[in-house]
Amino acid sequence: MSDAVWILGAHMTRFSRYPHLDTIDLAAEAAFGALDDAGVTMADIAVLATGTMYEASGGIAQRLLKQVGQTGVPAYNVANACATGASAVRIAHTHIKAGEAELALAVGVEQMGKVGLLGGDRMARNDAERFEPSGRDGAVVGIEGRLGTLMMPGTFAQAGTDYAHRHGVSREQFAMVAEKNHAHSALNPLSQYRTVFSLDEILAAEMIAYPNTKPMCCPTSDGAAAVVLVSDARLQRMSLEQRRRAVKISASVLTTDPWTESAPVAHDINTLTRRAADQAYEAAGIGPSDLDLVELHDCFATAEVVHYDNLRLCEEGGAADFIEKRAGWRDGPTPVNVSGGLLSKGHPVGATGVANLYEVATHLRGEAGDRQIPDAKVGLAHVIGIGSTCGVHILERSGR
């Protein structure tokens, strides 16, 4: 017996747009799916963590319990930007580690609809009739578009041009990342989009925020994902089939951004990812070269490029070389985002950090169908939420 925590069951809805369903419909489908996959019921679950950004103050965990089973267990409503799902999993994980639960359920869900640019309404130009200083910078008018941009496309584009200037990445190389992820998604029936784009089509598409064109930016999405976690002691008492399909969580790490000189004006997505990756590799006792697949937070093509380096998938400064060698393609040495990634699979914010665990676990179980990475034994799932939070999980196939 060890103090390991395992994924016993996992499920995700297809990411899509579901205007005729509500958030609870999606969360319940994922929760029931994960429970069924685990071979347990709500009566077995000792704690629930439900992640959502858009309905974080709406008691979503309690509303979900009213549809799947009001067992009276402690429940948490989790919001942590794009790291929301990973944070919900980490709460479930921590309960088991602490010995407070043997079985825990973590659900991530979001219903975003077709909202256009994330935060666009909040950032819209709407100067007051009478200028009065407000906020922590005493601004008298809206600063978006006047003092640079605070919106997500620009934030992640700037992270890319910074890296490109220091280490050399061409506009074509950034676009090659989107070419890969869209191509991967053609094999994934759970992906919101399954359209293959040529490099020329990606480069010629509408520019959103240089160097990212539209196919280099993730869509908004509706969807949910859930995992059932189990303690090692409880798993030992379960069936051979449950033990065989269980996936070990070898590392579960959450970090926030440390102070850097530029972070007060430009969100740092690098330092906290490097720290999380290093902590995760240390905890799991493995290195980046051991990984059979990686699901990382490609909200924009530029983000995927900097995370090759942050997650140590390439030599320091070597992201362009990693791209040119096609190392991240599904037949390369380090397949990255074989699900299609956020760029094509979609990004229902609260669900993303659970769905990437579903993806990695499904490959480690050998159940990924057409997109299966052969003989996958170890995988890594990464998310980043602006503000900032980074979640890294390392999963390993059961040896039983």
Partner 1 sequence: MTEPTVVRVVPMVDYLVLGDAPRLVANACDGCGALYLDRRNGCGRCSGRAFSKQVLGTRGTVVSFTVVHRAAPGVPAPFTSAVVALDGGGVVKANVVDPDGSPRVGVDCGTEVELVTYAVATDGEGTEAVGFGFTPVRAGVGA
Give contact residues for partner 1 (rule: CB under 8 A): 117, 119-131, 133, 136-149, 151, 153-154, 157-159, 161-162, 164-165, 206-211, 259, 261-262, 264-266
Q: Shortest approach of partner 1 to residue 293 CB, angstroms?
A: 30
Please check whether residue 178 is in contact with residue 186, taking contact to mean a CB–CB distance below 8 angstroms.
no
Please check whether residue 164 is in contact with residue 303, taking contact to mean a CB–CB distance below 8 angstroms.
no
Residue whose tokens read 């490029």: 305
In terms of Cα–Cα distance, which of 150, 151, 154, 129 is closest to 140?
Answer: 129
Determine if residue 275 is left, alpha or beta; phi over 0 gives left, psi from -120 to 50 gives alpha, anything else beta. alpha
Residue 106 backbone dihedrals phi, psi, to 5 degrees: -120, 130
Nearer to partner 1 among residue 129 and residue 370 (C-beta)? 129
Strand 5-12 to 47-51 pairing: unpaired
331 vs 106: CA distance, rounded Å: 32
Please check whether residue 247 is in contact with residue 400, taking contact to mean a CB–CB distance below 8 angstroms.
no
355 vs 304: CA distance, rounded Å: 17
Please check whether residue 107 is in contact with residue 224, taking contact to mean a CB–CB distance below 8 angstroms.
yes
Q: Shortest approach of partner 1 to residue 137 CB, angstroms?
A: 5
Nearer to partner 1 among residue 12 and residue 208 (C-beta)? 208
Nearer to partner 1 among residue 103 and residue 320 (C-beta)? 320
Nearer to partner 1 among residue 38 and residue 118 (C-beta)? 118
40 vs 353: CA distance, rounded Å: 23
Nearer to partner 1 among residue 52 and residue 220 (C-beta)? 220
Q: Shortest approach of partner 1 to residue 306 CB, angstroms?
A: 11
5 vs 171: CA distance, rounded Å: 42
The neighbour count for residue 41, using CB atoms within 10 Å, is: 14
Sign of the Cα pseudo-torsion (262, 266, 267, 269, in order): negative
Nearer to partner 1 among residue 98 and residue 259 (C-beta)? 259
Q: Shortest approach of partner 1 to residue 139 CB, angstroms?
A: 5
Q: Shortest approach of partner 1 to residue 217 CB, angstroms?
A: 9
Which tokens go with 48?
């629930």
Output the 3-class SS for 5-66: EEEEEEEECCCECCCCCCHHHHHHHHHHHHHHHHCCCHHHCCEEEEECCCCCCCCHHHHHHH
Q: Shortest approach of partner 1 to residue 326 CB, angstroms?
A: 26
Nearer to partner 1 among residue 300 and residue 358 (C-beta)? 300
Nearer to partner 1 among residue 46 and residue 123 (C-beta)? 123
Q: Shortest approach of partner 1 to residue 120 CB, angstroms?
A: 5
Q: Shortest approach of partner 1 to residue 352 CB, angstroms?
A: 22
Q: Shortest approach of partner 1 to residue 122 CB, angstroms?
A: 8
Strand 247-256 to 5-12 pairing: antiparallel
Nearer to partner 1 among residue 154 and residue 223 (C-beta)? 154
